[in-house]
Structure 1
Amino acid sequence: MNKMNCDLAALLFDEFRIQSRVREIGMQITQEYKDKVPILVGILKGGFMFLADLCRSISIPVELDFLAISSYGKEASSSGVVKIRKDIDLDITGRDVIIVEDIVDTGLSLQYIKEYLSKHSPATLKTCVLLDKPAAHKIDVSFDYVGFEIGNEFIVGYGLDYNEQYRNLPYLGILKEELYK
């Protein structure tokens, strides 16, 4: 048995359920942008798997870019201070942009990203999040596309990490509390 599996308190979503939901979101984006070429801005590092699968499930042309931020450091909860580690490379002025984020806890990081990208004057700016934790929100946030709504557990796998580990799990699980407290 994989040691990482032993670190999980529970399996939240298996590979099949994740891929099914990602395909549904991809079909929705395909329909809504059928005559456009949206730019998907993936938020690194956690959103890379979701972005890769999502863009493969969209059947219209898309462009990809990345923004890396940090608000956690090596902690299990956000510090509330957002820093840009890698900026976007594409000019998004007048373009349709979809932010692709792995998880929304407090909502503060996503709010910062939206405000930051809005300064680049995109034609439209939408958000696509794999996981939403409404119980953890510190501000009112809304999304255009949501994979799953979850409780306030600490989730790893499918790109999400704790201390840079567990990203390579192909599913999403709840990390045992004693490992991060």
Structure 2
Amino acid sequence: MRGDIERILIDEEIIEKRLDVMAAEIERDFPQGNLLVIILLKGALVFAADLLRRVPRQLELECLNVSSYHGGTESSGVVNFLDRSFPEVRGRHVLLLDDILDTGRTLHAVAERLRTEGAEAVHTCVLLAKERPREEEVNADYTGFVIGDEFVVGYGLDYQGRYRNLPFVGVLTLDAIERGGA
């Protein structure tokens, strides 16, 4: 897998230090009490696990399976909610975790749905935010790192279902992309 990485963009040690800061910000900003965290699958799973172990309070976790990339290197433009049920959010403070803010469509669609379902407050948190124009007017309340507009993998982010378990965020080689990650 590492042979398919053109360069490491953010190494594991830097990620860990940033997660410490983000967890402290979340703990400071949310009212005391049980916090509902909704993790967008599958990309945010690694990020969420490492971040939430650093938040010193009771958390309730839910996961939503949504898709917008559909196996490619760019958002398809369509956000699909893949779960049959939706978490109960009415009157709750929700922290929505996603791996990457790219076009903004996914984060916008899910946050809007949470508000429609009656969440008292929705705060968004992403590991990465690409520097690029958004298709939807959305910014994350908490951002780990701002990166250029390039396709990245690792630390939960994948290409064709691969590379999620890399402990860093890296850029794939053109050859790996052309081979479909195989």
TM range (shorter): over 0.9
**2:133 and 2:72 mapped to 1: Cα distance?**
16
Unaligned regions of 5+ residues in structure 1, if any?
Answer: none
What amino acid sits opposite 1:154 in the alignment? F
**1:136, distance to aligned residue in structure 2 (A):** 4.9
- In structure 1, the residue matched to 2:12 is 15
Paired residues of 1:65 and 1:89 also in contact (CA < 8 A): no
**1:35, distance to aligned residue in structure 2 (A):** 1.4
**1:123, distance to aligned residue in structure 2 (A):** 1.0
- In structure 2, the residue matched to 1:35 is 32
Q: Percent identity?
A: 38
Would you say how many aligned residue pairs link Structure 1 and Structure 2? 178
Unaligned regions of 5+ residues in structure 2, if any?
Answer: none
Moved more, 128-137 or 157-166: 128-137
Q: Could you tell me which of 95, 102, 119 is aligned with 1:105? A: 102
- In structure 2, the residue matched to 1:137 is 134
**1:126 and 1:119 mapped to 2: Cα distance?**
14
Q: Could you tell me which of 13, 20, 23 is aligned with 1:26? A: 23
What SS does the aligned partner of 1:35 have?
Answer: coil
Paired residues of 1:93 and 1:121 also in contact (CA < 8 A): yes
Q: What are the superposed Cα offsets for residues 54-98 of structure 1, whole Å, 9 maximum, x if unpaired? A: 110100111110011011112111111111112665421101001
What amino acid sits opposite 2:38 in the alignment? V
- In structure 1, the residue matched to 2:3 is 6
What amino acid sits opposite 1:108 in the alignment? R
What SS does the aligned partner of 1:126 have?
Answer: strand
**2:119 and 2:162 mapped to 1: Cα distance?**
34
- In structure 2, the residue matched to 1:80 is 77
Paired residues of 1:34 and 1:60 also in contact (CA < 8 A): no
**2:118 and 2:31 mapped to 1: Cα distance?**
22
**2:122 and 2:77 mapped to 1: Cα distance?**
23
Indicate whether 1:178 and 2:150 are aligned.
Answer: no
Q: How does 1:51-66 map to 2 (within 5 A)?
A: 51-66=48-63
**1:178, distance to aligned residue in structure 2 (A):** 3.1
Structure-2-length-normalised TM-score: 0.92
Change (3 A) 1:142 1:119: same
Structure-1-length-normalised TM-score: 0.93
Post-superposition, which runs of at least 4 consecutive aligned residues in structure 1 deviate over 6 A? none
What SS does the aligned partner of 1:69 have?
Answer: strand
- In structure 2, the residue matched to 1:71 is 68
**2:31 and 2:81 mapped to 1: Cα distance?**
32
**1:142, distance to aligned residue in structure 2 (A):** 1.2
